[in-house]
Structure 1
């Protein structure tokens, strides 16, 4: 069943066509649009319909009316607003505050008007600062200009009893920043809660920021807390949508350590299997046939029961697993080698979202320390025969390639060993959980 739709109103089609020309650069910033009469002629319509189409673009903030000269494409130069700069360290004696410095670096002219007042805070501010009814706040109100145009407002609220008599109460630039002043007063902010609200502006904001019709604002509210979880500052930033690009920079958290390593429990079989399975999937995506079979859960469970399977945790999240035992697989190791005291590494797997942090190297160091602590001579492992990259990895971590064994029905067999106690000190520090015992001496895997 087809759905019939009414044709789009002509004034909207006029706006659509002009918007497209602005978007593709045909009408550049500052360019004069066709007159209302020209548009009416081009679209075979009335002048009032053309005016209505132009009004749509004015309300969207794309066009400005400058009568009697006509309508012009707005020349917008958005300011990059970077909330993450709030706690970045700055020189203690900077030439100007952070806002002024940023715009100066971008080759633009920045200025600001500052007012300071003692106020009965609104309910929202009072709740964020955890003030009692009747408790006063100090507010530093800043109206910021870029190239002579009001760009945003920045109103900072503080509990009055914290900042009374300080330079925060002086309506002048604080070049080193109010955050530094709070730190000097003993109220260093160590974390912040960010809230972003998008709405239409209030009449006061329209007047204060000279906003055109239809211009929305983003309101960025920041509450700063001390290490004692005391809120000491609330900042309300009002950012006109036609003048800002809000930019957040994020980086993948890296493993700094120390991390904990402990034996897996019998309830964590699924966790170990998941780590193994993710590694197998990644290997398959790399065109490597290692571990391309269903996990041998009964063998993993036996290693867990024997205290030989370990988990590495970042906080309370398992990020890697390793199994160590004293069993010399007769398919690979000779009787003479099996008689030598050694610890053997199996099923070492690292989550992909922490790859590149040398966590595998750290686990090998940990295993080497365990072997030395037990008076053993060697740390040994057998690697998948077709995984050349893995062979290079072990070679670069101090392992000696002894030989390659091709046992029937086995895809592993590239044998490596390095002396017990040999430590490369790569990757995060691993600390054995206090309740953890040394790797079990149970024979058999």
Structure 2
């Protein structure tokens, strides 16, 4: 299909660089569905022949598409339209108590509800001193320690998110929060079992480019940003009981919230 893809001609009077015009043409083919996920982009030889330009011009055009996260290069095979991971919708009710009462943590309930297969790996649990900003959010003293739970979330085997939860050690100690399997309903169910009935969550979200270790963990294509979300969970009496520091592949998520107009 790639070699038979119709390609427009360059606009000789445009002030847009030639390599960017070529990138525009291929991008439009992807957006229109002429090239779909997994399809091979026309070869360098065909693009050189069609446009009458040097190989470096074609490579610059292909690099633009890779930097935008639209394509991925496979050594010895060519350049392909990038396959995107399944989209998980972050709904405003994902931490509703009914999910915990059904024995499901938020990620599992939401992913299964969308028809995906959730899994978790790379689980690490430590007792540690929290970073300064986490200690501030949890209103901890200078010597207070936390249980840190680090893990990676996958949908249908594709990594989409990493998260580190910080729970005051006085809450986590002696519970399954300290174990790889946190039990039915996840750590929020364990926190409520300790008498801290959850009342509200406060989230702060920003978009940024990923760090090197995040690219490796989430297997991100060049040019794909991440959502960096920090959530603080509060008990009914106003006590902060958990902070979750999360990094999410931006092309695996849609942020969807229902907000009351009052």
For the aligned pair, the TM-score class normalised by the smaller chain equals 0.7 to 0.9
Is contact 1:139–1:158 with CA below 8 Å preserved after alignment? yes
Q: What secondary structure does 2:61 align onto?
A: helix
Residue 130 of structure 1 pairs with residue 134 of structure 2: no
Residues 176-198 of structure 1 deviation map (CA, whole Å, 9 limit, x = unaligned): 12222211211122122110011
Structure ID, larger Rg: 1
Partners of 1:162 and 1:30 in 2: CA distance: 47
For structure 2, the residue ranges without an aligned partner over 5 or more in a row are 1-12
- Trace 1:265-414 onto structure 2 (pairs within 5 A): none
User: Alpha-carbon deviation of 1:252?
Assistant: 3.9
Residue 207 of structure 1 pairs with residue 216 of structure 2: yes
Structure having greater relative contact order (Cα 8 Å, sep ≥ 6): 2
Q: What secondary structure does 1:99 align onto?
A: helix
Is contact 2:95–2:106 with CA below 8 Å preserved after alignment? no
Is contact 1:98–1:175 with CA below 8 Å preserved after alignment? no
Structure 2 partner of 1:22: 30
Change (3 A) 1:25 1:170: same
For structure 1, the residue ranges without an aligned partner over 5 or more in a row are 254-445
Structure 2 partner of 1:59: 67
Partners of 1:187 and 1:54 in 2: CA distance: 53
Change (3 A) 1:66 1:144: same
RMSD in angstroms over aligned alpha carbons? Answer: 1.9
Residues 336-363 of structure 1 deviation map (CA, whole Å, 9 limit, x = unaligned): xxxxxxxxxxxxxxxxxxxxxxxxxxxx
Residues 321-349 of structure 1 deviation map (CA, whole Å, 9 limit, x = unaligned): xxxxxxxxxxxxxxxxxxxxxxxxxxxxx
Q: What secondary structure does 2:222 align onto?
A: coil
Residue 102 of structure 1 pairs with residue 113 of structure 2: no
Structure 2 partner of 1:247: 256
Structure 2 partner of 1:398: none
User: Alpha-carbon deviation of 1:105?
Assistant: 3.2
Change (3 A) 1:25 1:84: same
User: Alpha-carbon deviation of 1:108?
Assistant: 2.3
Residue 48 of structure 1 pairs with residue 38 of structure 2: no
Structure 2 partner of 1:263: none
Partners of 1:105 and 1:41 in 2: CA distance: 49
Is contact 1:179–1:188 with CA below 8 Å preserved after alignment? no
Is contact 1:61–1:242 with CA below 8 Å preserved after alignment? no
Partners of 2:258 and 2:116 in 1: CA distance: 22
Candidates 90, 94, 100, aligned match of 1:85: 94
Q: What secondary structure does 1:38 align onto?
A: helix
Partners of 1:109 and 1:89 in 2: CA distance: 20
User: Alpha-carbon deviation of 1:100?
Assistant: 2.3
Residues 379-399 of structure 1 deviation map (CA, whole Å, 9 limit, x = unaligned): xxxxxxxxxxxxxxxxxxxxx
Does 127-136 or 170-179 show the bigger shift? 170-179
Structure 2 partner of 1:38: 46
